[in-house]
Amino acid sequence: MNKGTPYLARQADATGFIQYPQEEHDIWGQLYARQAVNLPGRACDEYIQGLDALAMPTDRIPQLAEIDRVLLETTGWKTAAVPALISFGRFFELLANKEFPVATFIRRKEEFDYLQEPDIFHEIFGHCPLLTNPAFANFSHMYGKLGLAASKEERVFLARLYWFTIEFGLVQAKNEPLRIYGGGILSSPGETLYALSDVPERKPFELIDVLRTPYRIDIMQPVYYVIEHIDFLDEIARMDIMAAVQEARKLGLFAPKFEPKSKAS
């Protein structure tokens, strides 16, 4: 979150309205249309229910107030407009206050398929539908409070928990098909198809294992962790996560399943 970015968030006027140029609305519409085809049968039911509840526009970037009305009614959350990149401390603070950070810019056409920075499509389309779900919202709130109190070293381990759940989590109930709940997958056409293919490794969620698993943000994930149902996030929230962090620090990380960034093609 502390690296530079070429993107600048758009500022709201005195009424909270953000003016986007038409070409940016067009990009939103193209991204939305593509994922609307990819997600049926792949996204988890709770996400689809949240997407229906938000009823976000398909042809323009939604205003945050439109999203807030639904989130406040369902789980007491709201969005918070932020710059393209924020500190970990600010990120945790917002989650602890039930505010989900949304960078108010959208990717350029040349980065249509992949963007390292979380843009408004990633945040609103990828994450906000599940913030209407009580278990997902509660886990996000708990995570923010833990991170706010954690040390810099502990936050590195907590980042892996967020990565393999909120961003890149999969869910599979007994005798049911594998589904997606992670917003990093749901907002990515390529990873939506890849995550459910035969290529990556998938493991049952074990907290210590998740905390010990390295990841890279600029590649398709070689491994995903699978929970049995969305309500399992409530069970994770009741675990002694910080004790698990200390245990993971003692045990050390697993060997990465990818090449170092400098060597990867």
Residue 229 assigned as binding residue: no
The pLDDT assigned to 3 comes to 54
> Could you give the maximum distance between any two Cα atoms of the chain, in Å?
52
The pLDDT assigned to 265 comes to 33
- Our answer to whether residue 141 is catalytic in this structure is no
Q: Which of 127, 140, 188, 191 is catalytic?
A: 127
Query: Which helix (H) or strand (E) is 82 found in, with range?
Result: strand 78-82
- Our answer to whether residue 229 is catalytic in this structure is no
> 241 near 235, Cβ under 8 Å?
no
Q: Which of 24, 122, 123, 191 is catalytic?
A: 122
How far apart CA 52 and CA 151 sit, in angstroms, is 39
Q: Which of 123, 167, 188, 191 is catalytic?
A: 167
How far apart CA 77 and CA 64 sit, in angstroms, is 12
Percent of the chain residues past pLDDT 90, beyond the cut: 87
Measured from the Cβ of residue 15, the count of other Cβ atoms closer than 10 Å reads 7
Give pLDDT tens digits for 140-194.
Answer: 999 999 999 999 999 999 999 999 999 999 999 999 999 999 999 999 988 999 9
- Our answer to whether residue 127 is catalytic in this structure is yes
Residue 127 assigned as binding residue: yes
Mean pLDDT by groups of 10 residues along the chain of 265 residues: 72 95 97 95 98 98 98 98 90 98 92 82 97 98 98 97 98 95 94 96 98 94 97 98 98 93 54
Residue 25 assigned as binding residue: no
**The token pair that represents 160 in the structure block:** 């892996």
The pLDDT assigned to 260 comes to 84
Tracing tokens 């390292």 back to the chain, one arrives at 116
**The token pair that represents 127 in the structure block:** 């994450």
How far apart CA 41 and CA 107 sit, in angstroms, is 26
> 104 near 18, Cβ under 8 Å?
yes
The pLDDT assigned to 50 comes to 98
Give pLDDT tens digits for 10-26.
Answer: 999 999 999 999 999 99
